[in-house]
Amino acid sequence: MYIVTSYPFAIFLCFITMLCWGSWGNTQKLAGKTWRYELFYWDYVLGVLLLSLIFAFTLGSVGESGRGFISDLGQADMKNIGSAFLGGIIFNASNILLSAAIAIAGMSVAFPVGVGLALVLGVIINYMGSQKGDPFFLFLGVGLITLAIVLNALAYKKSSTGDQKVTSKGILIAVLAGSLMSLFYRFVAASMDLDNFVSPAEGKMTPYTAVVIFSVGMLLSNFLFNTILMKKPLSGSPTNYREYFTGKLSIHLVGIFGGIVWGVGNSLNLIAAGKAGAAISYGLGQGATLVAALWGVFIWKEFKNSPRGTAPMLTAMFVLFVLGIVSIIYAGT
């Protein structure tokens, strides 16, 4: 299987993760013009699973290093399979909430508040599990990003001209999503031998196998989580499976593509974790908040016609995010 052998290249893969995790929301925005986000999310989950299988049977099965996907899956013990599976369930619950926050508040709010919070809490959790990197610069970066999250939430509340309850609801759902999202990565990382991808400890999985189990956890839990939201949505009117199956092929492909984009980022991030460490790899990947905010502000114009004083707050938010990401990168050098 393919294994990353240098820290700079691991960081490069984390930047690709950042782009992927920060950009998949565009597919929901596109589909959302004619398609409920609960219906979009079914295709998204299928795209995540499809990408994980493609990676498992290509990068995860070729070459002379490490164990191939099939043999690795066969030797994995139930504890580690269960850990990766639980990671998929937790992520799915959080990501459905994030999708709801995007539908209510937009990308430029849902990502910085939700995923930004996941970054802050997730770095702390993953560092406790695998202490790699300079803690001073790692947590300095976390602190700067925390300030950026606060500024983003304040800018959103300042620019919102609609119902104050809707404004607060969008932020609250994003906070709930971020809190849950901070937990999933640790369970997936715990199922792998982060210190040795070439010869993982017996019972542990390679990142390629862990991602497949994670994706299966996402899909199966979706039958519970998303069915509930289809019947009792957080916003809008209820929908049903009949509407899903009557959707056009083109709209289904948009959702599947969104899942593939996110899945590429997820796989590359876990592959990089063996060299960069779980805390740094996860923290940089969740720098996706910055990418998503850029999409929301400059492409989707989510802060268009905002009152005076909003622009400086957004500028400060972007600067703090960049400084925080640079500090996290430096923590691993």
Tell me whether residue 251 is in a domain.
Answer: yes
Tell me whether residue 76 is in a domain.
Answer: yes
Tell me whether residue 95 is in a domain.
Answer: yes
CB 244 within 8 A of CB 223: no
pLDDT at 321: 86
pLDDT at 39: 96
pLDDT at 162: 53
CB 119 within 8 A of CB 145: yes
Q: What is the mean predicted confidence (pLDDT) over 83-87? A: 98
Q: From CA 122, how far away is CA 182, in angstroms rounded?
A: 4
- 51: confidence class by pLDDT, cuts 50, 70, 90: very high
Q: From CA 183, how far away is CA 221, in angstroms rounded?
A: 16
Count up the domains in the chain and report the number: 1
Residue 26 is encoded by which pair of tokens? 């565009």
Least confident stretch, 72-86, 201-215, 294-308, 313-327:
294-308
Residue 54 is encoded by which pair of tokens? 């493609």
Phi then psi dihedrals of residue 4, to 5 deg: -75, 135
Tell me whether residue 2 is in a domain.
Answer: no
Angle (deg, nearest 10), helices 278-285 and 7-23: 40
The string of pLDDT tens digits covering residues 203-232 is 999 999 999 999 999 999 999 999 999 999
- 46: confidence class by pLDDT, cuts 50, 70, 90: very high
Tell me whether residue 1 is in a domain.
Answer: no
- 302: confidence class by pLDDT, cuts 50, 70, 90: confident
Tell me whether residue 287 is in a domain.
Answer: yes
| Mean pLDDT value across the chain | 90
Q: What is the mean predicted confidence (pLDDT) over 256-266? A: 97
Residue 310 is encoded by which pair of tokens? 């909003």
Q: What is the DSSP string of 62-102?
A: SSSSS--HHHHHHH--HHHHHHHHHHHHHHHHHHHHHHHHH
**325: containing domain:** 7-331
Residue 242 C-alpha from the chain's centroid: 29
pLDDT at 298: 84
Sort 233 into a burial class: Cβ within 10 Å, 0-12 / 13-18 / 19+. middle
Q: Look up residue 109 and give its amino acid.
A: V
Least confident stretch, 55-59, 85-89, 115-119, 151-155:
151-155
